[in-house]
Amino acid sequence: MELCPLIKNILLLDSEGKRIAVKYYSDDWPTNSAKEAFEKAVFAKTQKTNARTDAEITMFDNYVVVYKFVQDLHFFVTGGENENEIILAAVLQGFFDAVGLLLRGTVDKKEALENLDLILLCLDEIVDGGIILETDANVIAGKVASHSMDAGASLSEQTITQALATAREHLTRSLLK
């Protein structure tokens, strides 16, 4: 028996069942085609439900799947058949709320694709190797925002440095003519 709850995967699919962001933490689906088949089957089983206000729970192929929909996005968290549904629901809610905070309340496919880097960082902050690290949306969003600010600062400094180097090069050419 496992001492620590383990997450098998976290899925973010669009309204047609296609991948937006997915992360697998288990070898239960060894190939990409097996993963895609699982995603398609889970989507087909859950698409007729109304999981817009509260998370719903279902058993699927000996896995517990907790899911929630908003706009044209479908959020899923999968655990083993003996996992605690409340813990899986807490992970789902943390992911759902953190994405909402990072996308500034506009949670739809277009915004998700434009901010895919933030969503993938969000997944990394929530679960590592199947082990749950954090479920508090404010903490998750704060860590993701600090990562993106650090990366953005060095990128903008690099851009300024490149611009100065280009200006220096043009000035040197014009003086040598």
CATH number of the CATH domain containing 21: 3.30.450.60
Cα→Cα distances 97→6, 76, 93, 136, 163, Å: 20, 13, 6, 9, 39
Q: What share of the chain is helix, strand, coil (3-state, %, to 5)?
A: 50, 25, 25
Residue 107 DSSP SS3: coil
Domain membership flag for residue 67: yes
Rank 45-49, 78-82, 113-117, 171-175 by mean pLDDT and report only the highest: 78-82
Higher pLDDT, residue 84 or 51 = 84
- Give me the pLDDT at residue 166, please: 62
Q: Count the domains in the chain.
A: 1
Domain of 145 in residue numbering reads as 7-150
Separate counts of helices (H) and strands (E) for the chain? 5, 7
**Cβ neighbours of residue 22 under 8 Å, at least 6 residues apart?**
9, 10, 11, 12, 13, 35, 39
Q: Per the structure block, which two tokens stand in for 123?
A: 């997944």
**Cβ neighbours of residue 24 under 8 Å, at least 6 residues apart?**
8, 9, 35
The pLDDT-based confidence of 67 (bands split at 50, 70, 90) is very high
Domain membership flag for residue 146: yes
Domain membership flag for residue 177: no
- pLDDT tens for residues 31-58? 999 999 999 999 999 888 877 778 889 9
- Give me the pLDDT at residue 32, please: 92
- Paired with 24 in beta bridges are 9
Residue 61 DSSP SS3: coil
Domain membership flag for residue 80: yes
Domain membership flag for residue 87: yes
Domain membership flag for residue 100: yes
Share of the chain above pLDDT 70, in %: 85
Its pTM stands at 0.77
**Cβ neighbours of residue 38 under 8 Å, at least 6 residues apart?**
9, 29, 61
Domain membership flag for residue 166: no
Domain membership flag for residue 31: yes
